[in-house]
C-alpha cells in the first residue's frame, strides 16, 4: 500500500514510531528510548521508564503527536561516523541507543533527526512530520529489551497510522474486528487450548475440543497424502549432536536450538527439524533410480527457541507439530515434483476455505554469501527450477532477496483470511546440500552412483499456527466438517430426555460428533449456551417432537429453521459433513 507520491505504508508506520518517541521525550524527557519498528498492523516503540504509562498518558502523547504533525517538522537524514553518533546519544543520555550503535553500527551510521529528536535508524522516512496527520495510539504492554527476559523491562506503546482519515477509520474497524476474533480469547471461551506459566511459555495444551479439531485436520491430511502418492513416517524427538553437525544445523541454526542433553556422555539435541531423520531412513539401504521419487511425510513435533517476548498464543510457540515432507528424486524429476507440490498445496489449502493466496520466491542475499552453504551454480540451478514451476502454472510471485534458508531457495505461499490478512503457511524448499552432507546416493541407469535432489515442504506449516489462523478466519464458527461438536440435542424437560438420548445416538451412528444437554436449565438458556459455543446444529425436542419423532432445528448464525424430519435432516447433515460444504442450507 502506498499514497499518490509512492510512499509505502511501512515508511509511514516507521516514521510514526519516530513521532511517538519524539512526543514521549517532549512530555517525559527522562525516558530512555529503545526500538520502534513498523509492524503488520501499525508500529510500536519500546521505552524504559520507572513510572508506568497510563491511559491518560497515552491520550496526552497522542495529542502531542498530532501537534508535531501540524507543525510539519522537517525530517533530516544524517550520516555520521560511528563514534560521533555514539557521542550524540551519550549527550542525550540515551544509553540504549549507544548500545545499539556499538552493536550494529558500521564505520558510518545513519541518524534521522526531526527538531530536537534524533534516532539511530536505517530509514527511509517521510520528508516531514506533516505526513503523519492520521495517527492513533492503541495500547501499552510489557516487553523485554531485545526480547531477552534477563534484560530491562520495557514499556511497549502500540499505534497505527494511515494516509487519510477514512483509511484510519477503516483500519481501526478492522483492528476491532481482529480483536474480537483473537484466537487466544476464543480458545479460552470455546475451551480449545491453553498455555500455562508453570508448564513454560510457548508450549500448548490441547483441550478435548481443540484436540478433536486437530485430529480431524490430521486425518484429512493423511488421507490426502496417501492419495497423493506419499508414505507416512514417524521419527524420534531427539538426535545425537553429530547428526546436527552433519546437517549444518549446529553451524547455521544453533541459536534457534535448545541446549544439549547429556546421555551416556554424549550430547543429544531436541530436533528443530525432521529432515536429518528422513535422510537416515533413506540411507538405511541402497536406493536405485527405479525407487525414486520417494515422497515421505510426517506430522513431526519439533522444538525451536523463541524469545519469551515474541511468543504469541498458537502463532509463535516453542514446540509445534509441522506437517513436514521430503521428496527425494533424481535431478531429472525435480521440476515435475515441484509442480506436484505446488498443485497439492493450493488444493489442500482450498479444502480449508483458503483460495486467495500470495506467493513469494525467497532467494539468497548476494551481499551475505556466508549465511548459505553450497556452490553458486547449484543455487542458480535450484532457483531456476522454482521459477520455471511457478511460471508453468502461471502463478504471480514476489522475489524476496535474503529470505532463503541456509541450504536452498524456497517458495512460500501465504493465505488470506476473512479480514484480508496474510498468513505464512506453505513452504517448498529446494535442497541440494543435504544429499552432499549426508553422502546420499542412488544407483542410476548407468550403474553408477549419483546424488539425489531433495525438496523440503510443509503445506499447513505448523498445526498450532494453522489452528490459530483457522480460529480467527472463522471467528470460532468452524464449518461443519471441522467443528469439534457438530450437533447438540436440547430436551425441553426431563420427560423428553430419553428421546433426546436416542436422537444423539442416531447422530453419532451416522458419523456426526454430537452431544446432549441434560442440564436442568431452561431451554432458552441451553440455546444461548449452544450459540455461544458456536455449535453448528442445535436440535430442540419437546412434546411435539417426541410425538412426531422429529426435531426443531436451529443453525448457528442462521437462526430457527423450524421442525425437521430426522431422516431428511441426517441425510443433509451427512452430505454437508462428508463433502466439507461450508454453507449449510436446510
Note whether 218 and 483 are within 8 A (CB). Answer: no
Q: In the annotation, is 324 catalytic?
A: yes
> Is-contact 23 16, C-beta < 8 A?
no
User: Active-site residue among 32, 64, 249, 304?
Assistant: 304
Which one is catalytic: 18, 156, 318, 326?
326
List 181, 410, 554, 556, catalytic entry: 410
From residue 307, give the alpha-carbon distance in Å to each of 143, 254, 318, 320. 11, 14, 9, 15
H or E segment at 33? strand 32-33
Phi first, then psi: what are they for 88, rounded to 5°? -60, -45
Q: Judge whether 18 counts as a catalytic residue.
A: no
Q: What is the DSSP string of 93-152?
A: T-HHHHHHHHHH--SEEEEEEETTEEEE------SBGGG--EEEEEEEEEEEGGG-TTSP
Task: Answer yes or no: 326 catalytic.
Answer: yes
Query: Is residue 247 left, alpha or beta, with left meaning phi > 0 and alpha meaning psi from -120 to 50?
Result: alpha
Distances (CA, A) of 79 to 18, 108, 109, 386: 18, 6, 6, 40
Q: Please confirm, yes or no, whether 275 is among the known catalytic residues.
A: yes
| All residues at 6 or more sequence positions from 85 whose CB lies less than 8 Å from its CB, including other chains | 101, 105, 109, 111, 120
CB burial class (10 A; 0-12, 13-18, 19+) of residue 110? Answer: middle
Length of the chain: 586
CA distances from 299 to 36, 347, 522 (A): 37, 19, 44
Contact indicator for 536, 584 with CB cutoff of 8 Å: yes
Q: Is there a catalytic annotation at residue 456?
A: yes
Let me know if 322 is a catalytic residue. yes
**323 and 461 in contact (C-beta within 8 Å)?**
yes
Question: Exactly one of 57, 323, 324, 417 is catalytic; which is it?
Answer: 324
Among 121, 275, 329, 425, the active-site one is: 275
- Cα torsion for 273, 277, 278, 282, to the nearest 10°? 150
Q: In the annotation, is 410 catalytic?
A: yes
Q: Which of 134, 295, 456, 496 is catalytic?
A: 456
SS3 for 322-390 is EEEEEEEECHHHHHHHHHHHHHHHHHHHHHCCCCCEEEEEEECCCCCHHHCCCCHHHHHHHHHHHHHHH
* Residues involved in catalysis: 275, 304, 322, 324, 326, 410, 456
Amino acid at each position: 500500500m502506498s499514497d499518490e507520491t509512492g510512499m509505502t505504508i511501512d515508511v509511514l508506520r516507521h516514521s510514526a514510531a519516530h513521532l511517538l518517541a519524539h512526543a514521549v521525550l517532549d512530555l517525559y524527557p527522562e525516558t530512555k528510548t529503545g526500538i520502534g519498528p513498523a509492524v503488520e498492523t501499525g508500529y510500536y516503540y519500546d521505552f524504559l521508564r520507572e513510572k508506568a504509562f497510563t491511559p491518560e498518558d497515552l491520550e496526552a502523547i497522542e495529542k502531542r503527536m498530532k501537534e508535531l504533525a501540524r507543525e510539519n517538522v522537517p525530517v533530516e537524514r544524517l550520516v555520521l561516523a560511528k563514534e560521533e553518533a555514539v557521542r550524540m546519544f551519550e549527550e542525550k543520555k540515551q544509553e540504549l541507543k549507544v548500545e545499539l550503535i556499538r552493536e550494529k553500527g558500521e564505520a558510518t551510521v545513519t541518524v534521522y533527526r526531526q527538531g530536537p529528536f534524533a534516532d539511530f535508524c536505517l530509514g527511509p522516512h517521510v520528508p516531514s512530520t506533516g505526513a503523519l496527520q492520521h495517527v492513533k495510539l492503541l495500547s501499552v504492554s510489557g516487553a523485554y529489551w531485545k526480547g531477552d527476559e534477563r534484560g530491562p523491562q520495557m514499556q511497549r506503546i502500540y499505534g497505527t497510522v494511515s494516509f487519510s482519515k477514512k483509511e484510519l477509520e477503516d483500519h481501526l474497524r478492522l483492528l476491532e474486528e481482529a480483536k474480537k476474533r483473537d484466537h487466544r480469547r476464543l480458545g479460552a471461551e470455546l475451551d480449545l487450548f491453553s498455555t500455562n506459566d508453570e508448564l513454560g511459555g510457548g508450549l500448548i495444551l490441547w483441550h478435548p475440543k481443540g484436540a478433536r479439531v486437530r485430529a480431524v485436520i490430521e486425518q484429512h491430511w493423511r488421507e490426502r497424502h496417501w492419495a497423493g502418492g506419499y508414505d507416512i513416517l514417524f521419527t524420534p524427538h531427539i538426535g545425537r549432536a553429530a547428526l546436527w553437525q552433519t546437517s549444518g544445523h549446529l553451524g547455521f541454526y544453533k541459536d534457534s536450538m535448545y541446549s544439549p542433553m547429556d546421555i551416556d556422555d554424549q550430547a543429544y539435541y531436541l530436533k528443530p527439524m525432521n529432515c536429518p531423520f528422513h535422510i537416515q531412513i533413506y540411507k538405511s539401504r541402497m536406493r536405485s533410480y527405479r525407487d525414486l521419487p520417494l515422497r515421505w511425510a510426517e506430522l513431526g513435533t519439533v522444538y525451536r527457541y523463541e524469545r519469551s517476548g515474541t511468543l504469541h498464543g498458537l502463532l509463535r510457540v516453542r514446540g509445534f507439530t509441522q506437517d513436514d515432507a521430503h521428496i527425494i528424486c533424481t535431478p531429472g524429476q525435480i521440476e515435475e515434483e515441484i509442480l506436484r507440490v505446488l498443485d497439492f498445496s493450493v488444493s489442500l489449502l482450498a479444502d480449508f476455505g483458503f483460495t486467495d493466496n500470495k506467493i513469494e520466491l525467497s532467494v539468497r542475499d548476494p551481499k551475505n554469501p556466508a549465511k548459505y552453504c553450497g556452490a553458486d551454480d547449484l543455487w542458480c540451478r535450484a532457483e531456476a527450477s522454482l521459477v520455471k514451476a511457478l511460471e508453468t502454472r502461471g502463478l504471480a510471485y514476489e522475489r524476496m532477496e535474503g529470505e532463503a534458508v541456509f541450504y536452498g531457495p524456497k517458495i512460500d505461499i501465504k493465505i488470506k483470511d476473512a479480514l484480508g490478512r496474510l498468513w505464512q503457511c506453505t513452504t517448498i524448499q529446494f535442497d541440494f546440500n543435504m544429499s552432499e552432507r549426508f553422502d546420499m546416493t542412488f544407483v542410476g541407469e548407468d550403474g553408477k552412483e549419483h546424488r539425489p535432489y531433495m525438496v523440503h515442504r510443509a503445506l499447513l506449516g505448523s498445526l498450532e499456527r494453522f489452528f490459530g489462523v483457522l480460529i480467527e478466519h472463522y471467528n470460532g464458527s468452524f464449518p461443519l466438517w471441522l467443528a469439534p461438536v457438530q450437533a447438540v440435542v436440547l430436551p425441553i424437560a426431563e420427560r423428553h430426555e430419553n428421546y433426546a438420548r436416542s436422537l444423539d445416538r442416531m447422530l453419532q451412528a451416522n458419523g456426526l460428533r454430537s452431544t446432549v444437554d441434560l442440564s436442568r436449565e431452561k431451554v432458552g438458556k441451553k440455546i444461548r449456551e449452544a450459540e455461544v459455543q458456536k455449535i453448528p446444529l442445535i436440535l430442540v425436542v419437546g412434546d411435539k417432537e417426541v410425538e412426531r419423532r422429529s426435531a426443531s432445528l436451529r443453525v448457528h448464525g442462521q437462526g430457527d429453521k423450524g421442525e425437521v424430519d430426522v431422516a431428511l435432516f441426517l441425510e443433509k447433515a451427512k452430505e454437508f459433513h462428508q463433502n466439507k460444504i461450508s454453507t449449510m442450507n436446510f
